[in-house]
Amino acid sequence: MKKQVTLTKEFTKGLWEINPILKQILGTCPTLAVTVSVMNGIAMALATTFVLVFSSLLISLVRKLIPNQVRIAAYIVIIASFVTIVDLVMKAQFPELSKSLGPFIPLIVVNCIILGRAEAFASKNNPLRSVLDALGNGAGFFIALMVMSGIREILGSRSFLGFQVLPSAFEPWLIMILPAGAFLVFGLLMGFSNMYVDRKKNLEREALIAQYKRVGREEITDNVLKEAGV
Amino acid sequence: MKEITHILATLTIIGIIAGGALSLVNNWAAPKILINQKAETERAIYLVHLDGKRYEAMKDAGFEVYKVFDQTDKSVGYSLVYAGNGFQGKIKLMIGLTENLSKITSIEVLEQSETPGLGTKILEPPYKDQFKELTPIAGIKLVKGVAPSNPNEVQSITGATISSRAIVTIVNEGISKLKTLVSKSSDQKREGRPQ
């Protein structure tokens, strides 16, 4: 039996530790495509989170009833239903937004964050944990999209959420609103986040070594470090 | 055998529930979506005929075209939706024309996927406002580098010649299509009422 993590941890792990974009590298297609403006990013993240939470809940509820052989088919039907609901509601209530997101709302069906979490988490855990996990992953997706679309909108069209934030003397970087800009920002973001993680790990390692030295254990073997979990 | 029944039953039940839920949502959303679409067309029609108050779709045209009337119910001309190929994808235009098709009132771009910053300049007033009050009788011409000197000339955007040319082509094609349509329907009227 594996160790149960706390409920808060179930939520917060999605924000950073297993952030769907930066760590699991799931759902990159919508990430690259819709982050031209912050508004698009927000709408995409909210729509995805909605689908993610409700399909995780439902899948977790019926996880024991679905025969193993057809689980993926069942998941897809459940996910597709929620996506269609989102698509219809957006078309009815927010026609402008639905137009600017274009085909990416229907494509949430195949967004691997949702199927990934369904298969890796919701199908093995109880509804409460599944919903928390889904909320955490949705929030992580939201944060990643906000950062990316913020950078792209500010540099690419001088504005944030449609309001001009940089002076008109600043020449917008066209590349930022072109697909190539998406790849550049994505790559740099991932690079920086990995750099941060590596640095943190090294610092922890050094701190531990220093601590061991202080208590007089001169020889630090890899085994000791492994035991300490760094 | 038992397993197969189980599989079939589960999938069927899931399918039925999903279908039912979707049809409920669709019942609620479908009329709203229809209203939105109608409002969008309406807005686009009046974009090129600012004094328009009422419009009538012309049927059997093979493309979208609307006859626009002002508040005294006098016809002010046509709003014509016409699409063609741009640099990267389709460009869809709304073209406003006067009653006798001799003048363009203005044009609006409804849909495009041109290069941001270059081709998208077709959306900006310096380019698209050139079409206002043009007389397209001999077709609109695109000129490069010099200011237009004739009433049927439009200056091309530097760095976006293909997009500029695409718009001119779409406008010309649309107008000639509409011309044949209008002359055909007026011929039919004349035949119907021999004098």
Place of tokens 């494509």: A107
pLDDT tens digit string along A131-150? 999 999 999 999 999 999 99
How far is the CA of A200 from the CAs of A194, A197, A204, A206, B113, in angstroms? 10, 5, 6, 10, 44
Pair B25, A85: CB distance under 8 Å: yes
- Identify the DSSP state of B74: -
Mean pLDDT for B63-71 is 87
Which of B14, B36, B118 lies at the smallest CB-CB distance from A95? Answer: B36
- What is the model's pTM? 0.78
Q: Is A78 on the interface with B (CB under 8 A)?
A: yes
Residue A21's contacts (CB-CB under 8 Å, 6 or more residues apart) are: A27, A28, A31, A140, A141, A144, A145
Measured between beta carbons, the chain A residues lying within 8 angstroms of B33 are 88, 91-92, 95
pLDDT digits (tens, 9 = 90+) for A1-35: 455 788 888 888 888 888 888 888 898 888 898 88
Judged against a pLDDT cut of 90, whether residue B25 lies above it is answered with: yes
- Report how far residue A66's alpha carbon sits from residue A62's, in angstroms, rounded to the nearest whole number: 6
Which phi and psi (to 5°) does residue B54 adopt?
-145, 150
B76 is a domain residue:
yes
Question: Which of the 8 DSSP states describes residue A79?
Answer: H
Contact B10 A66 (CB under 8 A): yes
Higher pLDDT, B19 or A175: B19
Cα B107–B110–B115 angle (5° rounding)?
A: 100
Give the one of B7, B14, B117 whose C-beta lies nearest to A77's C-beta.
B14
For residue A6, is it left (φ>0), alpha (ψ between -120 and 50) or beta? Answer: beta
What whole-number percentage of chain A has pLDDT above 70?
92
> How close, in Å, is residue B63 to chain A by CA atoms?
22
Q: Do A67 and B115 touch (CB under 8 A)?
A: no
Mean pLDDT, all residues of chain A: 87
Q: Residue B100, exposed/middle/buried by CB under 10 A (0-12, 13-18, 19+)?
A: exposed
In a domain, B125, yes or no: yes
Residue B24 Cα, gap to closest chain A Cα (Å):
10
Q: Is residue B35 part of a domain?
A: no
Helix (H) or strand (E) holding B18: helix B2-47
Q: Is the pLDDT of residue B121 over 90?
A: no
Q: What are phi and psi of B110, to 5 degrees?
A: -90, -40
Using the Cβ of A80 and the Cβ atoms of chain B, whether some distance falls under 8 Å is answered with yes
A-chain residue closest to B27, CA distance:
A88
B153 bridge partner residues: B141
Q: What is the pLDDT at residue B172?
A: 92
If DSSP codes are grouped into helix, strand and coil, which group holds residue B182? Answer: helix
Q: What is the pLDDT of residues A54-94, one digit of tens each?
A: 999 999 999 998 898 899 999 999 999 999 999 999 999 98
Do the Cβ atoms of A92 and B33 come within 8 Å?
Answer: yes
A90-127 confidence digits (pLDDT tens): 999 988 888 878 778 888 888 889 999 999 999 999 99
List Cα–Cα distances, A72 to A78, A80, A118, B21, in angstroms.
10, 12, 9, 20
Domain count, chain B: 1
3-state secondary structure of B13: helix
B13 belongs to a structural domain? no
Q: Which residue of A has its CA nearest to B35?
A: A92
ipTM of the complex: 0.75
Which of A162, A120, A149, A129 lies closest to A18 in space, CA to CA? A120
pLDDT at B12: 94
Rounded to an integer, the average pLDDT of A35-51 is 91
Task: Please give the backbone phi and psi of residue B101, each rounded to the nearest 5 degrees, phi first.
Answer: 60, 20
Write down the pLDDT at residue A198: 92
Q: Which of B10, B40, B117 sits opposite A67 (nearest CB)?
A: B10
Beta-carbon contacts of B113 under 8 Å, excluding residues fewer than 6 positions away, are B86, B88, B89, B90
Q: Is A84 on the interface with B (CB under 8 A)?
A: yes
Q: pLDDT for B175-191, tens place per residue? A: 988 888 888 877 776 66
Chain B interface includes A66 (CB < 8 A):
yes
- Residue A213 is predicted with a pLDDT of 77
Query: Residue B14 and residue A88: Cβ atoms within 8 Å?
Result: no
The per-residue pLDDT for range B78-99, each reduced to its tens digit, is 888 899 999 888 999 999 999 8
Spatial contact of A179 and A201, defined as CB atoms under 8 Å apart: no
Instruction: Tell me if B14 and A74 make a contact (CB, 8 A cut-off).
Output: yes
Q: Provide the shortest C-alpha distance from residue A68 to chain B (in Å).
A: 9
Average pLDDT of every residue of chain B: 86
Domain that holds residue B187: 54-192
The predicted structure's pLDDT at residue A134: 95
Block residue for tokens 């002002």? B70
Distances (CA, A) of B149 to A119, A202, B140, B160, B165: 67, 71, 12, 21, 18
Question: Residue A92 and residue B117: Cβ atoms within 8 Å?
Answer: no
Angle between helices B2-47 and A71-93 (to 10 degrees): 20
Residues in chain B: 195
Is residue B1 in some structural domain?
A: no
Q: Are residues B10 and A65, on separate chains, in Cβ contact within 8 Å?
A: yes
Q: Is A81 an interface residue toward B (CB < 8 Å)? A: yes
- The dihedral sign for the CA sequence B134, B138, B139, B142: negative
Whether the CB-CB separation of B105 and B49 falls below 8 Å is answered with yes
Q: Convert the pLDDT of each residue in B143-178 to its tens digit.
A: 888 888 888 888 998 888 899 999 999 999 999 888
Beta carbons of B29 and A88 less than 8 Å apart: yes
B6·A74 Cβ contact <8 A: no
* pLDDT tier for residue A175 given thresholds of 50, 70 and 90: confident
Residue in chain A nearest B110 by alpha carbon: A99
**For a pLDDT cut of 90, what percent of chain B falls above it?**
26
Q: Please tell me the distance from the alpha carbon of residue A225 to that of residue A185, in angstroms, as a whole number.
A: 35
Residue B146 lies in a domain: yes
Q: Which amino acid is at B61?
A: A
Sort out which chain A residues have CB atoms less than 8 A from B40's CB and list them.
Answer: 95
pLDDT band at B195 (very low <50, low <70, confident <90, very high): very low
Q: What is the mean pLDDT of residues A194-216?
A: 86
pLDDT at B150: 83
| Closest C-alpha among B153, B178, B32 to residue B93 | B178
B110, pLDDT greater than 60: yes
Backbone φ and ψ for B98, nearest 5 degrees, come out as: -75, 170
- Check CB contact under 8 Å for A81 and B11: no
Give the rounded percent of residues in chain B with a pLDDT score beyond 70: 96
Looking at residue A1, what is its pLDDT? Answer: 40
Which residue from A minimizes the CA distance to B7?
Answer: A67
Helix extents (H) in chain A: 7-12, 28-34, 38-61, 71-93, 95-101, 112-117, 127-157, 174-177, 179-214, 222-228
DSSP per-residue codes, A118-140: IIIIITTS-HHHHHHHHHHHHHH
The one-letter amino acid code at B164 reads: S
Residue B116, in any domain of the structure: yes
Q: Report yes or no on B27 lying in a domain.
A: no
